[in-house]
């Protein structure tokens, strides 16, 4: 992934920075400036908590170019507490233990590297929530 | 607005064409369609393609194919909407002819995928999805469909085996289509133990990587009999969109763009799903077949897979699908697929589908871009 693009998305990748619509209050991730719910302008930053639950998941055995060395890895749709859904990899978990509904939390991990000399891409992944027992 | 008809069709075999380039495939299909139409005066060429830039290093493909087909000088444009590129080109051709701006146009879908390695093609296909927020996380296109299939199985409490007949039907129908990539039947047992690509999507849930081109010549219906003894009339043409990213969908398990474009198409045709004699749907993955049947109104939510289990999708069933093999059996040269669907529907409506002939007057095609970000529906009627 090219450096300017990595730089542009840093707040999203590293701190799940989304937006909140001042008109209808819906939380948005990723930020999109025009609220899809009420069509009002939604430019107010809002950092999401990173807590959520697995909505669906898949273990990838054939990866796209650039991700081959990580197979098998598990990707998921995670429904965040505040409402938005995000696509991300799961980490620190055996693929057999993943289930729909499993509580997860965001962590920052290496996502990919651009060859031996290229930049390393860091971003959000999700792991089983450490205080899941207490929270539920 | 003028009524529009198909007056000629042409296609290459879907295959791994080591000996043919992108332009060769496009030219073959274009010339076959023009010959089938009795060589009318073609004024414009619309080319559907998704991946030429990424997989062959060639953009600017419409002018290239027009030139090599012997039509240097005419209007020629490429139209792109990921895997719905083929029927998006048909949509543009339809608008040009219906509006009165163009009288005779040729529309061609072309894709050349086998010059590159598998992981490179996998990465290129993923560009149909949201690059910054899906693909960046190593999510392949197959994985997006796997996320849909897993959730579908969970919500509707169905096993993976329930999807088997989508693939079995496609392979069976491809057996009698000389232009199909596969000519081998598929058993339930083989489907059951197929290798996983992105769990729960296996190799046998998925359409193959391949090359191909398919084309149709269109003109105003009022002039169609000048060129063709058996024109096929366009009764509806409709496009609708949804979010590119799955995570932005309000309802993950419902193809909203499929519903919207089907509703628009039914309104244009003055018909409903119950009037369709066959349905060429976008079976890139078995889960997409189930979701398409539901979005287009052939089955209630969660029941699309039942139509497969009960054999209602077979040639003799209530709504035959993938009648010439579909994406799974004929093959899925992505930007060409929409035109293959349309050409095969024309074969059916002209009564030229051989052993797979369905008794039909009205047929529908639905072409899906990405995981549903663009969905294009066309309805055609036999002239006989
Ligand atoms: Zn709003």
Domain ranges within chain B, ordered by starting residue: 4-117+210-231, 118-203+233-382
Q: Is there a contact between B82 and B334 (Cβ–Cβ < 8 Å)?
A: yes
Which chain A positions have a beta carbon within 8 Å of B142's beta carbon? 60, 62
> What is the per-residue pLDDT for B58?
97
pLDDT digits (tens, 9 = 90+) for B134-171: 999 999 999 999 999 999 999 999 999 999 999 999 99
> What is the per-residue pLDDT for A119?
85
Residues of chain B with pLDDT under 50: none
Q: Is there a contact between B266 and B272 (Cβ–Cβ < 8 Å)?
A: yes
Distance from the alpha carbon of residue A41 to the mean position of ligand 1, in angstroms: 7
- Here the ipTM equals 0.95
Task: Report the share of chain A in percent with pLDDT over 90.
Answer: 80
Residue pairs between chains A and B whose CB atoms are closer than 8 Å: 112
Work out the minimum CA distance from A45 to partner chain B, whole angstroms: 18
* Binary contact (A58, B201; C-beta < 8 A): yes
Distance, CA of B193 to CA of B205 (rounded, Å): 11
Radius of gyration, CA atoms only, chain B: 19
Distance from the alpha carbon of residue A27 to the mean position of ligand 1, in angstroms: 9
Domain B118-203+233-382 has CATH 3.30.70.100: no
Which chain B positions have a beta carbon within 8 Å of A86's beta carbon? 133, 247
Q: Which of B221, B213, B219, B227 lies closest to B39, judged by CA?
A: B227
Q: Does the reported pTM lie above 0.80? A: yes
Residue B247 near chain A (CB below 8 Å) = yes
pLDDT digits (tens, 9 = 90+) for A14-69: 999 999 999 999 999 999 989 999 999 988 999 999 999 999 999 999 999 889 99
Work out the minimum CA distance from A73 to partner chain B, whole angstroms: 9
Q: Is there a contact between B38 and B8 (Cβ–Cβ < 8 Å)?
A: yes
Kindly list the catalytic residues of B: 83, 332
pLDDT digits (tens, 9 = 90+) for B296-340: 999 999 999 999 999 999 999 999 999 999 999 999 999 999 999
Domain boundaries, chain A: 3-128
> What is the per-residue pLDDT for B97?
98
Homologous superfamily of B4-117+210-231 in CATH? Thiolase/Chalcone synthase (3.40.47.10)
> What is the per-residue pLDDT for A132?
53
Position A135 confidence tier, pLDDT thresholds 50, 70, 90: very low
Distance from the alpha carbon of residue A28 to the mean position of ligand 1, in angstroms: 9
Position A1 confidence tier, pLDDT thresholds 50, 70, 90: low
Q: Is B36 helix (H, G, I), strand (E, B) or coil?
A: helix
Which chain B positions have a beta carbon within 8 Å of A5's beta carbon? 132
Q: Facing residues of B47 across strands?
A: B78, B108
């Amino acid at each position: 992934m090219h450096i300017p693009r990595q730089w542009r998305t840093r707040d999203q990748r590293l701190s799940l920075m989304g937006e909140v619509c001042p008109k209808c209050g819906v939380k948005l991730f990723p930020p999109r400036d025009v609220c899809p719910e009420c069509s009002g302008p939604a430019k107010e930053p809002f950092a999401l908590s990173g807590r959520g639950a697995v909505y669906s998941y898949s273990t990838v055995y054939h990866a796209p170019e650039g991700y081959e060395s990580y197979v098998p890895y598990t990707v998921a749709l995670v429904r965040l507490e505040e409402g938005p859904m995000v696509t991300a990899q799961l980490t620190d978990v055996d693929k057999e233990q993943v289930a729909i509904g499993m509580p997860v939390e965001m962590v920052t991990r290496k996502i990919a590297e651009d060859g031996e000399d290229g930049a390393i891409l860091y971003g959000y992944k999700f792991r089983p929530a450490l205080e899941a027992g207490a929270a539920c | 607005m003028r009524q529009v008809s198909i007056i000629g069709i042409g296609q290459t075999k879907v295959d791994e064409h080591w000996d043919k380039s992108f332009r060769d495939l496009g030219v073959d299909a274009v010339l076959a369609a023009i010959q089938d139409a009795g060589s009318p005066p073609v004024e414009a060429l619309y080319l559907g393609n998704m991946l030429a830039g990424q997989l062959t290093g060639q953009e600017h493909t419409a002018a290239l194919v027009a030139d090599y087909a012997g039509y240097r000088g005419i209007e020629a444009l490429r139209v792109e909407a990921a895997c719905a590129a083929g029927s998006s080109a048909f949509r543009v051709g339809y608008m040009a002819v219906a509006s009165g701006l163009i009288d005779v146009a040729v529309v061609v879908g072309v894709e050349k995928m086998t010059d590159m390695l598998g992981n490179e093609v996998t990465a290129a296909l993923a560009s149909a999805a949201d690059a910054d927020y899906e693909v960046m996380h190593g999510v392949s296109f197959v994985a997006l469909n796997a996320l849909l299939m897993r959730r579908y199985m969970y919500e509707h409490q169905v096993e993976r085996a329930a999807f088997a007949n989508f693939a079995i039907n496609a392979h069976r129908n491809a057996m009698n289509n000389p232009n199909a990539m596969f000519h081998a039947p598929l058993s339930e047992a083989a489907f059951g133990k197929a290798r996983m690509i992105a769990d729960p999507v296996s190799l046998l849930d998925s359409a193959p990587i391949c090359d191909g081109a398919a084309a149709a010549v269109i003109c105003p219906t009022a002039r169609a009999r000048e060129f063709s003894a058996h024109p096929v009339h366009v009764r509806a043409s409709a496009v609708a969109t949804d979010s590119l990213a799955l995570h932005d969908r309000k309802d993950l398990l419902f193809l909203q763009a499929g519903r919207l474009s089907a509703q628009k198409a039914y309104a244009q045709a003055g018909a409903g799903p119950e009037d369709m004699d066959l349905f060429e749907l976008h079976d890139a993955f078995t889960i997409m077949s189930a979701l398409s049947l539901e979005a287009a109104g052939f089955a209630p939510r969660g029941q699309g897979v039942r139509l497969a289990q009960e054999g209602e999708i077979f040639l003799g069933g209530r709504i035959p699908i993938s009648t010439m093999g579909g994406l799974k059996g004929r093959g899925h040269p992505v930007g060409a697929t929409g035109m293959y669907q349309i050409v095969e529907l024309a074969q059916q409506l002209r009564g030229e589908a051989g052993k797979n002939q369905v008794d039909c007057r009205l047929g529908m095609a639905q072409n899906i871009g990405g995981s549903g970000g663009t969905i294009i529906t066309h309805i055609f009627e036999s002239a006989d």
